[in-house]
Amino acid sequence: MGIKSLDDLLSEGVSGRGVLVRSDLNVPLDDGTITDPGRIIASVPTLKALSDAGAKVVVTAHLGRPKGEPDPKFSLAPVAAALGEKLGRHVQLAGDVVGSDALARAEGLTDGDILLLENIRFDPRETSKDDAGRLKLAKALVELVGDDGAFVSDGFGVVHRKQASVYDVATLLPHYAGKLVAAEVKVLEQLTSAGERPYAVVLGGSKVSDKLAVIENLATKADSLIIGGGMCFTFLAAQGLSVGSSLLEESMIETCRKLLDDYGDVLHLPVDIVVAEKFAADSPAETVAADKIPDDKMGLDIGPESVRRFSALLANAKTIFWNGPMGVFEFPAFAAGTKGVAEAIIGATEKGAFSVVGGGDSAAAVRQLGLAEDGFSHISTGGGASLEYLEGKTLPGIEVLGRPNN
pLDDT at 260: 96
65 is in an annotated binding site: yes
Is-contact 199 317, C-beta < 8 A?
Answer: yes
43 is in an annotated binding site: no
Residue 48 has pLDDT above 90, yes or no: yes
The span from the first CA to the last CA of the chain, in angstroms, equals 13
Q: Which of 4, 22, 39, 56 is catalytic?
A: 39
Which pairing describes strands 319-323 and 56-60: parallel, antiparallel, or unpaired? Answer: unpaired
How many whole angstroms separate alpha carbon 260 and alpha carbon 253?
11
pLDDT at 114: 98
Q: What is the pLDDT of residues 178-198, one digit of tens each?
A: 999 999 999 988 887 767 899
Q: What percent of the chain has pLDDT over 70?
A: 99
pLDDT at 377: 93
299 is in an annotated binding site: yes
Tell me what the mean pLDDT of segment 256-270 comes to: 96
Residue 46 — pLDDT band, cuts 50, 70, 90? very high
Say what the pTM is. 0.85
CB atoms within 10 A of CB 214: 23
pLDDT at 359: 67
Q: Which of 48, 136, 139, 207 is catalytic?
A: 207
Q: What percent of the chain has pLDDT over 90?
A: 82
26 is in an annotated binding site: yes
Is 17 an annotated catalytic residue? no
Helix or strand holding residue 30 (H, E): strand 29-30
Tell me what the mean pLDDT of segment 47-61 comes to: 98
pLDDT at 194: 63
Start-end ranges of CATH 3.40.50.1260 in the chain? 6-178, 187-390
403 is in an annotated binding site: no
Is-contact 348 367, C-beta < 8 A?
Answer: no
Q: Which residues contact 53 (CB under 8 A, 6 or more apart)?
A: 10, 14, 15
Q: What is the pLDDT of residues 343-368, one digit of tens each?
A: 999 999 999 999 999 866 888 889 88
Q: Which of 324, 360, 382, 383 is catalytic?
A: 360
pLDDT at 191: 85
pLDDT at 266: 96
Is 360 an annotated catalytic residue? yes
Q: What is the pLDDT of residues 128-176, one digit of tens each?
A: 999 999 999 999 999 999 989 999 999 999 999 999 999 999 999 999 9
Is-contact 354 332, C-beta < 8 A?
Answer: no
pLDDT at 406: 64
Q: Please list the residues that pair with 34 across neighbouring strands.
A: 29
327 is in an annotated binding site: no
Instruction: Share the mean pLDDT of the chain.
Output: 94
What is the full DSSP assignment across 382-393?
-HHHHHHHHTTP
How many whole angstroms separate alpha carbon 11 and alpha carbon 26?
30
The domain made up of 187-390 has a fold known as: Rossmann fold (3.40.50)
**Entry field: residues in the chain:** 406
Burial string for 28-63 (b: 16+ CB within 10 Å, else e) reads ebeeeebeebbbbebbbebbbbbbebbbbbbbbbbb
382 is in an annotated binding site: no
For residue 62, give the nearest of 186, 197, 195, 161 by alpha carbon.
161
375 is in an annotated binding site: no
Q: What is the pLDDT of residues 95-126, one digit of tens each?
A: 999 999 999 999 999 999 999 999 999 999 99
Residue 15 has pLDDT above 70, yes or no: yes
pLDDT at 36: 85
Is-contact 398 166, C-beta < 8 A?
Answer: no
Is-contact 41 6, C-beta < 8 A?
Answer: no
Is 384 an annotated catalytic residue? yes
Residue 385 — pLDDT band, cuts 50, 70, 90? confident
The domain made up of 6-178 has a fold known as: Rossmann fold (3.40.50)
Is-contact 272 306, C-beta < 8 A?
Answer: yes
